[in-house]
């Protein structure tokens, strides 16, 4: 699925000055709707649904969840129904994301944030035996299994550092599982004070990888919290686009870029480092922005 054509080399005087090779993995270009890492995280859930002859899927998310849109589209493609359980009361006007879910055939069910946090996936599986239950963000062993395929391309083993945004930790676990012990995985948490994510990721790491594959989670680049933004973040995203003509989003990839440049300024990377930035998709979140906050 991924080959060298999806690797974009980034050139800047700053990188030359620090003697760094910097590439970006453009999995955001693989599919227009099942964007970026969603394509990988959903893969084995959808395959299992087909194998079990499930007649539908049930999954979860907020009003701007890329995961919900991707799940709705994927279910439609294999001819089964989809139900999205949405965190929060139904708004007077649906977000563009939720409107897309409906376009792709998803039924929406809104519940309070308190009830959402108490959802028991096992109970749902018993209640709906003919449905494939897909946890929020594709979290779980099947999601991590698919995400591990992100590093399946030739030459992935040559990178010293792999940097990605981190939400549920599903992609993070997949990257760790398919990296080698000489590589450093750097994860940028997009949620504020999401310190429990470390344990969540460890639940999905293969036993033989625990303690050998190195990863760090950075918690100071959330720019206000999940789906939050500030002026500094938008300026970084605009500047990155001006230099490389690559669009990022303010929920995930923009925060990853913000962390990367700050690490550069702090001399985090040794000269000669070979760095891979993962563009995990999700650009549709930018549609919620107004007042021309982005230059692209």
What per-residue confidence (pLDDT) applies to 247?
97
Query: What is the predicted pLDDT for the residue at 240?
Result: 98
35-73 pLDDT, tens digit each: 899 999 999 999 999 999 999 999 999 998 999 999 999
Q: Which pLDDT score, from 0 to 100, does residue 288 have?
A: 83
- Give the pLDDT confidence of 119-142 residue by residue, as tens digits: 999 999 999 999 999 999 999 999
What domains can be seen in the chain, in order of their start residue?
Answer: 4-32+141-288 (3.40.50.1100), 37-138 (3.40.50.1100)
pTM for this one?
A: 0.94
Reduce the secondary structure of the chain to three states and give it as a string.
Answer: CCCHHHEEEECCHHHHHCCCEEEEEEHHHCCCCCCCHHHHHHHHHHHHHHHCCCCEEEEEECCCCHHHHHHHHHHHHCCCEEEEEEECCCCCCCCHHHHHHHHCCEEEEEECHHHHHCCCHHHHHHHCCCEEECCHHHCCHHHHHHHHHHHCCCCHHHCCEEEEEECCCHHHHHHHHCCCCCCEEEEEECCCCCCCHHHHHHHHCCHHHCCCCEEEEECCCCCCCCCCCCHHHHHHHHHHHHHHCCCCCCCCHHHHHHHHHHHHHCCCCCCCCEEEEEECCCHHHHHHCCCCCCCC
Of residues 255, 270, 12, the one with CA closest to residue 160? 270
User: Residue 107: its pLDDT value, please?
Assistant: 98
Low-confidence ranges of the chain (pLDDT < 70): none
């Amino acid at each position: 699925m991924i080959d060298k054509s999806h690797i974009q080399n980034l050139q800047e005087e700053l990188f030359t000055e620090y003697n760094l090779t910097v590439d970006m993995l453009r999995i955001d270009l693989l599919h227009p709707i099942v964007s970026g890492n969603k394509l990988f995280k959903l893969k084995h859930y959808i395959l299992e649904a087909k194998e079990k002859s499930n007649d539908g899927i049930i999954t979860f998310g907020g009003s701007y969840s890329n995961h919900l849109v991707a799940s709705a589209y994927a279910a439609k493609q294999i001819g089964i129904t989809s139900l999205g359980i949405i965190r929060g009361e139904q708004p007077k006007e649906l977000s563009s994301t939720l409107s897309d879910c409906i376009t792709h055939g998803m039924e929406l069910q809104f519940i309070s944030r308190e009830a959402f946090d108490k959802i028991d996936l096992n109970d749902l599986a018993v209640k709906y035996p003919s449905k494939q239950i897909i946890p929020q963000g594709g979290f779980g062993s099947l999601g991590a299994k698919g995400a591990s395929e992100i590093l399946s391309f030739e030459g992935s083993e040559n990178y010293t550092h792999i940097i990605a945004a981190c939400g549920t930790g599903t992609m993070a676990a997949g990257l760790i599982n398919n990296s080698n012990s000489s590589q450093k995985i750097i994860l940028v948490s997009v949620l504020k004070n999401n310190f429990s994510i470390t344990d969540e990721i460890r639940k999905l790491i293969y036993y033989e990888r625990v303690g050998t594959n190195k990863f760090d989670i950075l918690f100071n680049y959330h720019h206000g919290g999940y789906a939050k933004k500030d002026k500094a973040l938008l300026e970084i995203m605009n500047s990155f686009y001006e230099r490389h003509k690559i669009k990022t989003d303010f929920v995930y990839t923009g925060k990853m870029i913000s962390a990367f440049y700050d690490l550069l300024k702090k001399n985090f990377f040794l000269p000669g480092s070979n760095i891979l930035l993962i563009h995990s998709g999700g650009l549709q979140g930018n549609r919620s922005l107004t007042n021309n906050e982005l230059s692209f």
